Every structure is written in C-alpha cells, then in structure tokens.
Structure 1
Amino acid sequence: MKRTVALLGVLAATLALGACAGPGREGGAAGPPQPGGTLRYGLSQAPTCSDPAQSGTNQTLYVTRQIADSLTDQDPATGEIVPWLAQRWQVSPDATTFTFHLREGVTFSDGTPLTAESVRANLDSIVHTLGGAKAPLAATYLAGYRGTEVVDALTARVRFGAPNAQFLQATSTPQLAILAAATTAKPAEQRCLGDTIGSGPFTYAEYRQGDKVTLAKRSGYAWGSAIFAHQGEAYPDGIEFTVVPESGVRTGSLISGQLDAVSDALPQDVPQIEAAGGQVATASNPGITFGLQPNVTRGPLRDRAVRTAVLRAINRQELVDTVLGPQFRAATSPLAHTTPGYVNLAADTEFDLPAAQRILDEAGWIAGADGIRAKAGQRLSFGVLFSQVFAGNQAVLELLQQQLRAAGVDLRLELASNADYTVRQNSKDFDTIYYNTTRADGDILRTNFGLDGRNLNDRDAIPALDAVLSEQLRTVDATERARLIGEAQRLVLAEGLWLPTIELSQAIGVAGTVRELKFEASARLQFYDTWLSGR
C-alpha cells in the first residue's frame, strides 16, 4: 500500500484541518447504540435521480449514498483511502493500472454476488452508456479509461491510456459506487426511477420523484467500510426522506418532532433548534467553491478586464456575514480550504471596489446615467443562471447583484428549475452559471476547467493552464502534485475563469434523539452508524 500513502500524503494533512468544522460533526453518544426505528429526514430539494452515478446535488447524494457501496472509502479525519468492497489494491508506478481484490460474500440487494465482472460493467456503463451528459463527474474520473480486465472472480484490473493519479480517490465517491448488473444494463433514464440495486446497507422501498423517498434496512448486510463505527446491519430500520423546500417549515417540523433531521438549517433557526434540545451539525465541503463561471464567448465577459473587475467587486465576507452565518467561509480560491492542494489566494480575491472601478475605467467601460457602464454601445450587463439546489443561493446572488451595481455592473438573476438548469448548463446557454462542485481531490479543477473536462467557460486552449491540469494527473508524488494544483488555482483565477464567492458548508438541524449522524469525507451524510434514542 506504499503507493496509496504517496498519493494521499497531502490529502490527509489537508482534510485533518477542516474535518470538524462547526458545532459538531455528530450527535453525542448516550449509552450503547440502540437498533431500530425510522429516521425521518427533511430534504431542502427533491432528489434528481436514484442512481448514484448520475447524482450531482447534495440532497440527491444524501439518499443515493445509502444504497450503494464503493470500492474504497475515504477517512474524513485523515483523508486516508481505506478498504470497503475492495479489501486491498495495487497501483502501478505510473498510475495507469489499478488492481482491486474484492471481498468475498458481498451480494447486491437482488441476491446476485459482487464479482470483478460487476466492477467492469459499472465502469464500462459510465463511459459507454451514461457518458459526460448524464454522469459528468463520474465520466471525468474515468478520463482515458481503456477497460477493466477480469483477472479472476474477485480481482479486477482497471487500465488507463495515460497516468490517472486521481482515480484511487475517485473510487471512494458515490459516483463510482458499484451497482448490480440489473441496473448497469439499463438506459440512463431508467436508472433514475427508484429501482436502483446496490450492495449498500439500505435499499429503496419507495421512490416518489419530487416528493418522498423511503429506504429500508438491508437484512444481512455485513461488509461495511473500514471507517464505519460498527459492522453488521445498519442501526435504523429505515429512513424516510421528505422534500420540504421552505426552511421555516423544515425547522418547525424538527422542533415539533415530526422530523428527526433537516437540511440547510439557517442561522436564524439555530436558537430554536438548540432550545428544543437539538443542534446544528456542520461540515465544510471540499472541492470547487460556490462562484460564477463565465462563458467567455459571449457578452461583456469576453473582456478579461471585466472578469478581473468583477472578481475585485465581490465583497465575500459581507455575503457570509449578511446571508449565511459563521459556519460558512468567504472563498479565497477556486478550491475550498478543505481540498487537497488548496492555496490561499486571499490577496488576489480581496474586495477592492476602487480597484474594480479603475480596471473598468482603463478598459473603456464608462458609467451611464443609470450608473451601469457601457462600451461601444454595449451595456455591462450579464445574466447568472442558478438553481435552488442550495437554499441560500438566491439571497447570496441578490446581495451580489447589489455589490456589482456599485461597480457599474448589471447582474441579472436567472433562476431555473433543476431540469432547465441542467439543459442550459450542458448546452452552455448562459452568460455565467453559479454552482459549486464537491470532491476531496484537487483534480476537480480539471473536471470543471479542463478542455477534456466540462469546460463550461467554453474557452479555447490556455497552454499554461492546460499543461498543469494535465501534469497533475500524471504526477504520483504528493508534494509535486499539490504544487501543480496550486498553480492551476492561480491560473484559473488570473484568467477570470472562476469568480468565487463562498465556501459551501452543510448545516444539518438534528433533534436531540438522533445519535452519531456523521459526515463522510465529501461532507455528505452517512446514516449507517446513526441511531435513535428516547423515542
């Protein structure tokens, strides 16, 4: 496992700094765990798909993570990659070949066994069936995929055409979780309908899109991750996920005992939750911060000076203090501070309205009678496409709209449904798009900004940036890879390809009867060890 240690040295050091943000990562223990009961959870948004490979939003992943296991897991405290479905693995010195030795006796919930063929079918289906349109994150994790060799029933060898240093960590993500053949053989759309079959500690009992999801405990489950607090079946008999978009209703349902835990607890909710004997558990998401990604082929954002000025005109601390609260942080880089390879670029993201105004003046953008600038008959106006996947998005953007107006910039808010947002995102039909992407590996920069990734900027080649994004993927030395990821952050910011605002944190309202509600390494919830007391 020496190669594993080399790949993860920086990761462990970085995650250890941010793993316990906020008032607590789990409910305190109260006696020995008690199995039984149904945990009732209030989601702020509806899950978009029952298939973890196609899951993108936090609210969706809270559900899909429970029904499917991954080859490996990632320790949220240290960043170490640990066994799960794979007992052990070897990585070739050039990081092109990954050999996984699977646990014996693992079965999917339809009774079929986990085999090396299961691994091959899953990875092949992501590349050849789902692709980047349906599974954008999973597809980039498999960049350069050449196939999986079934060495024997329990040994799978995954090959890439070029070094892929990020792949081992990718095998711990929900997007590369292993599903049964009955699921991987289906078309993409049919995999989203609620009959997804995994090997996880829970199974789908009911899936009503946009309304409710019910999970049932998997009888006989005995192959949990090495970092789970216990082995055997999950403690809860089931989990009921109900979609409750209004934050006040979620909080009221938690306080009244109708729900046991809720997503996106707001700062004003905290006193009520604590007065009722609960708490707000928080964790900071690693990966790409929330920010605006400009389409550099249209409108005034084609002008790099405009992008630089907007970067300086954002008062990030005001966004945190006014809208979000102390469990959030102002972004100081394209990457969140809990991400491996993060570099603090606070000097380059510092709020400086006079500097923003000067940059626009020098670039020929002159303020009009209404205060909005123009150049050669074009107003300095552009839209921002966003959805409500995070409850604070609209309030953050409304304040950002005011901040940019002070610099003479007109920001138009374009709220879209999740479905319309996805269509416009995939077709790059926007001026800017507002989102974040969670992953505990700095390769997420290649996913979002690389020419072989999503490239939502719709940019042409930038040789310096393209070189470091490619080189970090080939680099197995942790220190050198971190240096390259740091340089990539600087270049993304310098080119104005990302205009960061805030780091996302999960803020989960938890009743006093809920114990051991835990976040995994990517700040998503893992309910396996959770138990209920006093109910």
Structure 2
Amino acid sequence: MRLSSRTALAGSLLAVTLLASGCSGSSGTANGDSGHPRTGGTLRIGLDYDPVCLDPQQSALGQSLDVGRQLVDSLTDQDPRDGKTVPWLATRWKADHEATRFTFTLRAGATFSDGTPVDARAVKANFDAVHELGAAASRGAVYLDGYRETRVSGARTLTVVFDKPNAQFLRGTSTVSLGLLSPGSLRRTPQERCTGHLVGSGPFVLDRYRPNTSVTLDRRKGYSWGSRLWQREGGAYLEGVEYRIVPENTTRSGALSAGQLDVATALAPQDRERFSAPGWSLLTRTAPGVDLSLYVNTRRTALREAAVRQALQKGIDREAVATTFLSSRKLAATSVLSSTTPGYTDLGDRLAHDPAGARRLLDRAGWRPGADGIRVKNGVRLRLDAVFVRQQSLELVQQQLEDIGVELRLRQLTVSRFPEVLAAGSYDLSLQSANRADPDVLTTAFAGGTPVADARLRSELRRATSSTDEATRSSLFAAAQRRLVDEGHVLPLNETEETAALSTRVHGLTRDASNRLVLHDTWTTG
C-alpha cells in the first residue's frame, strides 16, 4: 500500500451527503440489464469534495463513507427496499427482549486484507475502539450508546452488552460507521487511520490516497464473503477504482462528457437534462434521513428565545427554495425527516411560509425594526451567522429572513474547517443533513453533545431509541419531529435529491440503505 501522509481531522460532521441510491430502473442499479458482466477495468468516479479522513469509524462525510464502504465489511446489511436486516459477516443473531444483549455468529473464512481472521476477538476490538473514540466516532458512538462490553464465547460467537436498551444497535451494525477494521489498524492512531493507514475485509483494498487529488483502490484477491444482497458471489468485477477530486460542477460534468470520468457525482440541476440524453444514465433518489436544514445553536444569545427561532421557521419560503434551486416544488421540506425515511411525519402545515406571523412573534418578543429594517432589542441587532460548506439555497433564505427583519450573514468553510467550528460552537446556524434509513437518525443527529436540542429533547430521543416497542418508538419519534419544528430547533429547507451521471459503459452500480455507493457488483464495457 502506498500512502500519502497528511494531518487530517476526523470531525463530527453531519455533512450534506452527496450521492443517493436508485436509478433508471426499479432494481436500484445503474444500467443493470445490459449484457453479460465483464471482469476487469478501472472505474473512474468524480467526487466533489476530498474525503478528508478515510476512516469510516471516524468520519461522517459522505465522500469518505463512499470510499470506506468499499474497504470494510459490516456484520449485517440493510435491504433498501424494505429496511430488513440481512446477513453479511454475521450469519445469524439474537437479541434479548430488553435490547441490551445481542449475540452474533460469524461466518467462517473471512479475513482482513493483512491476513488476520475476522473473528469474535476482532469484532470485540472494533466495538471497544469505537467506544473509546467517543465523540470522534461521530456516528458509531451513537449506535453504541450505553455500550458496556463485548463478550467472546468462541472463535465465531460474541455477545454485545449494553447498560440500557439500545434498539437501534442491530441496524447500526449494517452501516459503514460500524464497519470492521483489522486489529492492526486499530492499533494505529486516529490521525494515521484518517490518512489511509487502515485495513479492512472488504472487496477492495486501498492503494493510495493523495489528499485533494485522488483515492485509488485495487480489487481484493480471494474475497468471498459479501453481503447477501449482492448479486455476484466471490470477488468484485472491477480491477480497480479511481476517485478523482473535482470540486467544480462544470469541470466534473465536462470530464464525464469528455470520457475522462465514468461517473460524475453531485450532478448540478442544470446538467440533468444534458445527461438524460441517449449515451448517459442518471442515478437519482431522494435521500433518507434528516433533510437539508439549518441547525440552530440554542446556546447563542438571541437563539435562546423560542420566539426568535419560531419566527425564523415561519420566515422561510421552502417552496420558493425548492423551485428556485431544485426546479421542483415537491422537494420542499415537509418535516425534519425526508419523506423516504421510515417514521416520517408530515409537518408541512407547520412549515408553511408565514412572514406576517414571523413579524408578530418578533414584535411580541421586543425585537423592533431599526432604521434599515433589521430588528433591534436592547441595542443589539438581530444578526445571525450561518456556516456551511456548500452554499446551495442560502442566499435566497438570507433575502427571506431580511424581509422579517433578520440579518443573516453567510460564512463558507472548508470541509476540514467545518467540524472544528461546530465543535467550538462558534456559529448561530449550520447547514447540514444526515443520511440514514430509519428514524434513529434523529438521535444520531440531535441527542449527543449538539447545542441544537435541549436536555429534555435529547432525553426523549434517547428514550425513543431505547424502546423495543415499535408503536412506542413511532409515537416518540413523531413527537420529536414536532418539537424540533414547533420550537425551532431545526429549520428544514428541502429534501436532498442527489443525482449522479453515468456513462452507459457502467453497469450494476448500486446504493445501500444509507445511500453509500456499492461497487462489488459494478462492471464496465468498452
């Protein structure tokens, strides 16, 4: 393995995830019905951002997790069609009635690419390591909430024990965030793992990571323990994968047109018609999870006032945002969760544009319009700071909020700087989303150390995640969505319909339930 060194941050970034599953066919694959699969070739994928940290146990950045999904396997997989949990490295499992003990039996013969076995001790080492990472394991630590220990009772049998109910854990085992690394990798520092010093058991191995330039992968020889959802038994078709970092939309789509790329991710809306023509294929799906939203830092002075937060909620015209930037009113947010997420509660009436109502709330709270229209209270202007990586619709939101007397300042950050600012709490609003195909994503996003939710709301989310009764869980998650909206903790903007454009030489490209790219069954022609 050739490595490029780099100082990288594994931030708690609930980033805008950039590719989604689904495609031009009902099977959820790209060009999946064209001829006989062919072995060999290198797939060239254009990413819009650098992965920053390649360790999937630490990163929450979509580009990083897309790469990591090819390198690591998980105990289970989640069927994106019905949400059911299916075998992968674990052939069977059993949970107690309290959801505090989960016993897994592992398949025989699986190994990490350094030759060490994927056995019960290796799984224990991984869960122990994620738990020790704490907040640095931005998603995995939430899945392991209440983790006590993993007990090894045989080479292929283990029991994960929690101090409290954790009903979300089993689904968490299907995610790349709880994907398994070799014990040797776990002995590396978190910073070393971010820069590429990691070994998994997946169908590809890391060849080289060149920050801000490319990531290259090679096919894993002898691989034969893939997810039950995959079509092909044995190793991947592709000989290799090259991810190229191409931040500019026009450059990325131009490289696809010129035959320099096979896949261009994060396709801009204005390019969709162009790549709908013969010779191309589009992979499009509304991402499950938390909609693209402005997360509210309730520890900031003005935002401690519920009336200010509620006025912001009423001041945003979501249909105008969706129509202007996404060319589709149907993508306007109607809840905190997207409509494709299990447990979604339609709150469209509570998110209706009501600028007059917003002004009344601010008037009653003592915020009076100043000479320039921006409201003032006790000599302080109602000025808010919004941080983001990709601006998207914020200029329009800025205009809409100015109309109710709120000054919104926009501050664009780099991918690496964004999590630092979030951790420091030095912002008012942050543009984020979070992908996951179940309502527990609300707990992942808002029940940790985030300043978005208050202590009561965090407690209610943990209670929902801990419940083993589906009716109770549904009721609690629905109530949490209403509170997040009604109290203005989160300002949903739009659903994320992400599109990738593909050359017709690409076949069998799929997405998992969390919208991670899956390349095992992918093959190319020509």
Query: Is the structural similarity TM-score above 0.5?
Result: yes
Q: Deviations over 1:179-229 (max 9, x none)?
A: 101111111111111131000000001111221000001111101101011
Q: How far has the Cα of 1:366 moved from its partner?
A: 1.5
CA–CA distance in structure 2, aligned partners of residues 38 and 200 of structure 1: 17
Q: Residue 3 of structure 1 aligns with which residue?
A: none
Partner residue in 2 for 1:400: 397
> In the alignment, is the contact (CA less than 8 A) between 1:255 and 1:276 conserved in 2?
no
AA at the equivalent of 1:36:
G
Q: Which residue of 1 aligns with 2:118?
A: 114
Kindly indicate whether residue 97 of structure 2 is the aligned counterpart of residue 102 of structure 1: no
1:93 paired with 2:90, answer: no
Structure-to-structure mapping, 1:163-174, within 5 angstroms:
163-174=165-176
Distance 1:362 1:210 in 2: 50
Q: Give the stretch that moved more between structures: 316-325 or 150-159.
A: 316-325
Q: Using the TM superposition, give the Cα deviation of residue 367 of structure 1 relative to its aligned residue in structure 2, in angstroms.
A: 1.5
Question: Which AA in structure 1 matches 2:111?
Answer: T
Could you say which residue in structure 1 is the equivalent of 2:451? 456
When you count helix as a share of all residues, which structure comes out higher?
Answer: 1
Written as runs of structure 1 = structure 2, the 5 A alignment for 1:340-379 is 340-379=342-381
Tell me the equivalent position of 1:236. Answer: 238
Task: Report what 1:494 is aligned to.
Answer: 486
Structure 2 Cα separation of the partners of residues 234 and 127 of structure 1: 32
- For residue 55 of structure 1, what is the aligned residue in structure 2? 59
Q: Is 1:280 matched with 2:304? A: no
Q: Contact (CA 8 Å) 1:23, 1:282: kept in 2 or not?
A: no
Secondary structure of the structure 1 residue equivalent to 2:455: coil
SS of residue in 2 equivalent to 1:52: coil
TM-superposed deviation, 1:21: 7.5
Distance of 1:136 and 1:49 partners within structure 2: 12
What secondary structure sits across from 2:350 in the alignment? Answer: helix
Partner of residue 503, structure 1: 495
The answer for the alignment partner of 2:48 in structure 1 is 44
Query: Aligned-pair distance for 1:505?
Result: 2.5
Among residues 497, 513, 525, which one is paired with 1:521 in the alignment?
Answer: 513
Normalising by structure 2, we get a TM-score of 0.93
Query: CA–CA distance in 2 between the matches of 1:493 and 1:207?
Result: 41
Counterpart-to-counterpart distance in 2, 1:222 and 1:487: 44
Distance in 1 between residues matched to 2:466 and 2:193, nearest whole Å: 33
Shift of 1:55: 2.1
| 1:127-161 Cα shifts (integer Å, max 9, x gaps) | 11x221x2111111111100100110001110000
2:149 match:
147
Alpha-carbon contact 1:380-1:408 (below 8 Å) kept:
yes
1 CA distance for matches of 2:184 and 2:270? 46
Amino acid in the other structure paired with 1:473? T
Q: How far, CA to CA, are the matches of 2:77 and 2:34 in structure 1?
A: 27
Distance in 1 between residues matched to 2:398 and 2:475, nearest whole Å: 35
Specify the alignment match of 2:407 in structure 1.
410
Q: 1:377 to 1:21 in 2, by over 3 A?
A: farther
Q: Quick one: structure 1 residues 91 and 327, their matched pair in 2 at CA, closer, same or farther if it must change by over 3 Å? A: farther
CA RMSD, Structure 1 to Structure 2 (Å): 1.7
Contact in 1 for aligned 2:22/2:510 (Cα 8 Å) = no
Tell me, in whole angstroms, the C-alpha distance in 2 between the residues paired with 1:280 and 1:142.
36
Q: How far does the alpha carbon of each residue in 1:457-500 deviate from its partner, in whole angstroms, 9 at most, with x for none?
A: 2x6533xx345323212321222211111111111222211111
The 3-state SS of whatever aligns with 2:158 is strand
Where 2:321 maps in the other structure, the secondary structure is helix
2:272 and 2:299 map into 1 onto residues whose CA distance is 43
Aligned residues: 505
What one-letter code is carried by the residue in structure 2 that aligns with 1:425? L
> Structure 1 residue aligned with 2:443, among 442, 446, 461?
446
Partner of 2:470: 478
SS at match of 1:65: helix
Gaps of 5+ in 1: 1-17, 389-393
Which is worse superposed, 274-283 or 145-154? 274-283
The AA in structure 1 aligned to 2:30 is: G
User: Secondary structure in 1 aligned to 2:427?
Assistant: coil
Distance 1:243 1:350, change over 3 A: same
CA distance in 2, matches of 1:87, 1:428: 43
Q: Identify which range, 344-353 or 19-28, moves more after superposition.
A: 19-28
- The residue aligned with 2:432 is 435
Report what 2:127 is aligned to.
123
Contact 1:55 1:64 in 2 (8 A): no
Task: Give the Cα separation in 2 of the matches to 1:516 and 1:482.
Answer: 35
How far the C-alpha of 1:271 sits from its partner, in A, is: 2.4
Distance in 2 between the 1:456 and 1:36 partners?
Answer: 49
Q: Aligned pair in 2 of structure 1 residues 498, 22: CA closer, same or farther (>3 Å)? A: farther
Describe the SS at the equivalent of 1:47.
coil
Q: Which moved more, 1:476-485 or 1:82-91?
A: 476-485
SS at match of 2:463: helix
Q: Do the aligned partners of 2:76 and 2:173 also contact (CA within 8 Å) in 1?
A: yes
1:129-278 aligned within 5 A? 130-132=133-135, 134-275=136-277, 277-278=279-280
Aligned equivalents of 1:383 and 1:402: distance in 2? 14
* Counterpart code for 1:369: A
Alpha-carbon offset, residue 382 of structure 1: 0.5
The answer (yes or no) to whether the contact 1:284–1:504 under 8 Å persists in 2 is yes
Task: Measure, in 2, the Cα distance between the counterparts of 1:209 and 1:395.
Answer: 24
- Once residues 386 and 217 of structure 1 are traced to their aligned partners in structure 2, the CA distance between those partners, rounded to angstroms, is 36
Q: Distance in 1 between matches of 2:300 and 2:59?
A: 29
Give the secondary-structure state (helix, strand or coil) at the position aligned to 2:419.
helix
1:460–1:317 distance in 2 versus 1, CA, 3 Å: closer
Q: Quick check: 1:468 aligned with 2:476? A: no
Identity of aligned residues (%): 42
Instruction: Work out the CA distance in 2 between the residues paired with 1:21 and 1:526.
Output: 13
In the alignment, structure 2 segments of 5+ residues that lack a partner are 1-19
- The 8 Å contact of residues 310 and 404 in structure 1, kept in 2 or not, is answered as yes
- Aligned: 1:83 with 2:93: no
CA contact (8 A) 1:38 1:238 kept: yes
Give the residue type in structure 1 aligned to 2:455. A
